[in-house]
A and B are shown apart, each in its own frame.
Chain A
Amino acid sequence: MEEKAVSKFKVSSNPHIRSRVNTSAIMLSVIIALLPATGYGIYNFGLRALLIILISICSTVLTEFLFGLIIKKSTIADLSAVVTGLLLGLNMPVSVPLWMPALGGVFAILVVKCLFGGLGQNFMNPALAARCFLVISFSKYMTDFDCDAYTGATPLAMLKAGENVNIYNMVIGKIPGTIGETSMIAIIIGACFLILLGVIDLKVPGSYIVAFVIFIVIFGGRGFDPAYISAQLAGGGLMLGAFFMATDYVTRPVTPMGQIVFGIFLGVMTGIFRLFGPSAEGVSYSIILGNLLVPLIERFTKPTPFGPGKGGRHE
């Protein structure tokens, strides 16, 4: 190679143009899409809900900031820590003690994300992993949905016990549960926003929901009972999980076929947990389990390159 001239112009490899969408813009759109669910949660459960969400976000952002100081690389501008904090807050009951969102935030960022190499390297969704960690360690607080607004069992627990539930309240969100999971409507509004922007698509949530419905129709013991099915869909954080946590880029398969396989796996697992497990929820555990299988799913769902197959045939 001959020497190259020093140039007064910028020189780089093709292409020379870049789309405007960047990582922070995507994270910002997710935050905006979560606002309806957040708003409803605060309306439903009171100002304490806001406090929990704020503590959770501060905890994740601060942890990421401090870790950034140690490794001398600031990453908080990509807003991914805010998304994690917000999701973690939305996944907690309003009655938890205030140190719990703080602890969860540290766990999510430090243990699940940063120690594995930061954004893009974690193999579990940080918010969900932190939630599961808290549920296992402090199950008394994390599964206690009694608060000023509601007392008594969650609709899913009632369903499991064979009682009837008020579907209308479930769709609107006037039920006990974690802060952000109760309102199906608010979550779907946010999800539509993300779908319209092209940030997420229906491959994961669609196949998740369809597979789950088919599973409970077959094994739920109630056949095709629309009321039962809608109650199952509206309760237990399924909507929040399907549209906002199963779709997390980093921890779902990147291949289109893989995304559908992943969604079906989640639907079936959630069905198994709900119908045959001890508790009535199961969304978080299904997604975490699914996250662990992602490398395997990706390996078997590689896209076929353009062009005729190995035999040289045309399609």
Chain B
Amino acid sequence: MAKFSFVGGIHPYDGKDLSKDSPIEDAPCGKELVYPLSQHIGAPASPLVKKGDRVLSGQRIADAAGFVSSPIYASVSGTVKDIDKRRTVTGDMVMSIILENDGLYESVPFTKRETADNLTKEEVISIIKDAGIVGMGGAGFPTHVKLSPKEPDKIEYVIANCAECEPYLTSDYRRMLEEPEKLIGGLELIVSLFDNAHGILAVEDNKPDCIALLKKLIKDKPYLSVKPLRTKYPQGAERQLIYAATGRKINSKMLPADVGCIVNNVDTIVSIYRAVYEGRPLMERIITLTGDAVKKPQNYRVKIGTLYEDIVEYAGGFKETPEKIVCGGPMMGFAMYGLDVPTTKTSTALLAFTKDEVSASAPSPCINCGRCLEVCPGRVMPSKLADYAEHFDEEAFLQNNGMECCECGCCSFICPAKRPLTQEIKSMRKILLAKRKKG
């Protein structure tokens, strides 16, 4: 049974009005495009080209290095300028293929498919794998791995994550309004991979127009349904979403497939549709460019590999020099060091703020108000976990379920003492996860 919501969560200013009403626009790319070999979870892709090669748009330039990995495609035509370390959004240097755009946009041919009925399940999954599709909501987990659970018969729900609960982001919203058939078609494809599955489009109820539109379009498809969810952050977090849509609960050690669910985000599902029906690999995505420092907040269709500075320049630059720029949503995104980094398969948005709320409020002592506990969707005690993390008390951290934190940021957001709770907990989790992996 659906619960429509979960316990905890917050209602920050959502900032969606800035960008939600203008249609998606194509953003041109610059002279140079950069493709980090590691833009997904798993082994970095291995290059198929070398310096000086000429490549066409849609050509595979790096191959998957193993099952949990993903190939990378050129999104323009041009020459390979270099294969070298380049800075990415997080500030780390990552081995990347650098293309010089020749401005011709010559493309390899794509073969369209009228119907997918004659494809076997294995064929569909291998098309998805070869198209380089990964979770495009931020995680970057290779989609073909997600779609190959151990027991496919046990999958009962395929959930399209249309919650878009992060403030400011509107790319999924525009996508649902502008290309709903592709979203529904993609979801149907995934549902057809599992014999006992039902498709759910889970949408937050602050998008009534999307809910109405999707409902109308799936009228004759009994194997799909639209589920409106209460608007609250982090409604779109995997565990909270599954609970809200199906009433099933998983913890940090479980996979959605353990309770018969598979979750994919809107852009990923649309990419699956395009890979199967249009024969196009993953080469572009929608990015929300917004924030109070941006002249023209809007959604752009971007060729993956385009540098952020080229998008900003095309959009007319900044009204005012931003104090902070964030890749992704304000709750879970990364603060960026500079704009000279490339967009990747997992880039959802670029936010530019004239004021940084974090540095404007210095942390003060905890007053034990309990607000962090109240909002924590993981139902843990952020104030105590942060204390343990500060003192590197691994044992107490684990005993108090520190690993059940999903790093959603609600606790830091709400804390009146402005403690960086999420940050402390996150760094402790990182250490412990690394240890767990080692053995």
Contact = CB atoms under 8 A, between A and B. Distances in A.
B355 to A, nearest CB: 10
Interface string B257-281: 0010000000000000000000000
A259 to B, nearest CB: 8
B379 interface: yes
Interface residues of A, number: 45
Contacts of A5: 87, 91, 337-338
A10 B251 contact: no
B331 A305 contact: no
Interface string B374-395: 1001111101000000000000
Given A18-B418, A19-B12, A249 B369 contact: yes
B414 interface: yes
B239 interface: yes
Interface in B347-401: 351, 353, 356-361, 364-370, 373-374, 377-381, 383, 400-401
Contact of B423 (A13, A21, A121): A13
Contacts of A137: none
Size range of the interface on B? 35 or more
Nearest to B412: A15
B252 A10 contact: no
B252 A307 contact: yes
Contacts of A303: 373, 379-381
Contact of A120 (B239, B326, B331, B367): B367
B365 A12 contact: no
B323 to A, nearest CB: 5
A5 B86 CA distance: 12
Q: Is the interface of A mostly helix, strand, loop or mixed?
A: loop
A233 B414 CA distance: 35
Given A16-B356, A21-B416, A305-B380, A120 B365 contact: yes
Contacts of A315: 249
Interface in A49-90: 75, 78, 80
A305 B404 contact: yes
A81 to B, nearest CB: 13
Interface in B327-354: 330-338, 351, 353
Interface string A110-135: 00000000111100000000000000
B325 interface: yes
Nearest to B324: A10
B407 interface: yes
B404 A10 contact: no
A302 B416 CA distance: 22
Interface in B392-436: 400-401, 404, 407, 409-410, 412-418, 420, 422-423, 426
A17 interface: yes
Q: Is the interface of B mostly helix, strand, loop or mixed?
A: loop
Contacts of A302: 381, 400
A7 B324 CA distance: 10
B251 A78 contact: no
Given A78-B364, A118-B365, A16 B330 contact: yes
Given A15-B332, A22-B361, A25-B416, A8 B338 contact: yes
Interface stretch (A143-151, A183-191, A250-258, A281-289): A250-258
Given A23-B417, A308-B250, A9 B381 contact: no
B370 A249 contact: yes
A11 B381 contact: no
A11 B335 contact: yes
A302 B167 CA distance: 31
A308 B252 CA distance: 10
B122 interface: no
B251 A305 contact: yes
Interface string B71-88: 000000000000001010
B212 interface: no
Contacts of A17: 12-13, 167, 330-331, 357, 413
Contacts of A163: none
B93 interface: yes
A249 to B, nearest CB: 5
Contacts of A13: 335, 420, 422-423, 426
Contacts of B365: 118-121
A4 B417 contact: no
A302 B335 CA distance: 34
Interface in B1-19: 6-7, 10, 12-13
Nearest to B335: A11
A9 B338 contact: yes
A14 B334 contact: yes
Nearest to A251: B368
B317 interface: no
B91 A11 contact: yes
Contacts of A75: 364
Contacts of A119: 364-365, 367
Max count, chain A CB within 10 A of own CB: residue among B87, B254, B358:
B358
Given A25-B416, A306-B6, A307-B251, 11 more contacts: A4-B337, A7-B338, A9-B324, A15-B412, A15-B413, A17-B12, A17-B167, A254-B383, A255-B370, A308-B249, A308-B251
Interface of A: 1-2, 4-19, 21-23, 25-26, 75, 78, 80, 118-121, 249-250, 254-256, 302-308, 312, 314-315
18 contacts: A5-B338, A7-B336, A9-B325, A11-B91, A14-B407, A14-B409, A15-B412, A16-B351, A16-B353, A16-B358, A18-B358, A18-B412, A120-B367, A255-B373, A305-B251, A306-B251, A307-B404, A314-B249
